[in-house]
Structure 1
Amino acid sequence: MTSTNPVFRERLWPSPWIFLATALVIPASLLVFLPISPVAGALVAAGLYGAIVVVLLVTTPTVEVSDGELRAGRARLPLSVVAAVRAAHGADAVAERGVGLHADAWLLIRGWIPDVVRVELDDPQDPTPYWLISSRRADALAEALSA
């Protein structure tokens, strides 16, 4: 259940280019099914692309800070265990997602969102060193977590 007045809320919607890239399923389907039947080719192409769009939209996670809790997708983290927060942009964000990534980190990253927020944890019961979360408004998310 979401709060009536969240401090921060963002849906990690796919970028428009994701929909364009996945539209390549249309000519691929037509290439395979047009020799069998033009109607079957058109139906399969439309059906596959429609299914991809629905899956992308339905599985879009929400990041929210409210009621003393960070919600990232289905995961929840009490703000009482947050030790430090840092927004990363550009090359720093690439390093966070790549060579600087800890194997035990919890991730909610989307390739079409360039910036990330690193949320360091101070919880002796949890082996996870930090959460790494994609955000188009990384500075606002970091500020909401730090407040």
Structure 2
Amino acid sequence: MQPSASPYEERLSAPRTWWLICALVGVAMALILLPFGTLPLLGGLVGGTAAAAVVASSYGSVRIRVVGGALIAGEAKIPVAALGDAEVLDPEEARAWRSHKADPRAFMLLRAYIPTAVRIPVTDPDDPTPYLYLSTREPRSLVTALETARATA
């Protein structure tokens, strides 16, 4: 039986409230340009909304994937064979690991608007990174995908 090409994929998209904030940025830009007339007002509305939307979209475009025996989290790509057993972090424990328990050498892919996370020790002795901290909305699914990928690798 062949494992699926992509057993796990998640996009850490920005929350819906951020899109409302993008619209409010556009309204603010329109109000700033109101004294200059209708055309600059519309330009400020469209331009401000578009600029804020680009920023929100790019921040929320990071992905976490388990593909072909590797974990790809943002810019990092590491084989699952170099990873230890993943630990699901509830919101309280996730907050502790991204603050007072955090190691400055760790790879942290965190999004404050996602309360849950996974902590994965790096077992490769040549890698100075002690662990990966990954914010995820589906921590149990990510752990299952990592275990499946490790078993089939």
TM beyond 0.5: yes
**Paired position in structure 2 for 1:139:** 140
Contact 1:34–1:41 (Cα < 8 Å) also in 2: yes
Counterparts of 1:23 and 1:107 in 2: how far apart (Å)? 30
Matches within 5 A, 1:82-121: 82-121=83-122
**Paired position in structure 1 for 2:48:** 48
Which portions of structure 1, spanning 4 or more consecutive aligned residues, are displaced by more than 3 angstroms?
Answer: none
TM-score, L = length of structure 2: 0.84
Shift of 1:138: 0.9
In terms of fraction of residues, the more strand-rich structure is 1
Shift of 1:86: 0.7
Secondary structure of the equivalent of 1:118? strand
In terms of fraction of residues, the more helix-rich structure is 2
TM-score, L = length of structure 1: 0.87
Identify unmatched segments of 5+ residues in structure 2. Answer: 149-153
Q: What amino acid sits opposite 1:143 in the alignment?
A: T
Q: Percent identity?
A: 30
Shift of 1:119: 1.0
Matches within 5 A, 1:26-41: 26-41=26-41
Q: What amino acid sits opposite 2:144 in the alignment?
A: E
Q: 1:68-112 deviations in whole A, cap 9, x for unaligned?
A: 100112320111110221111221111122222111111111222
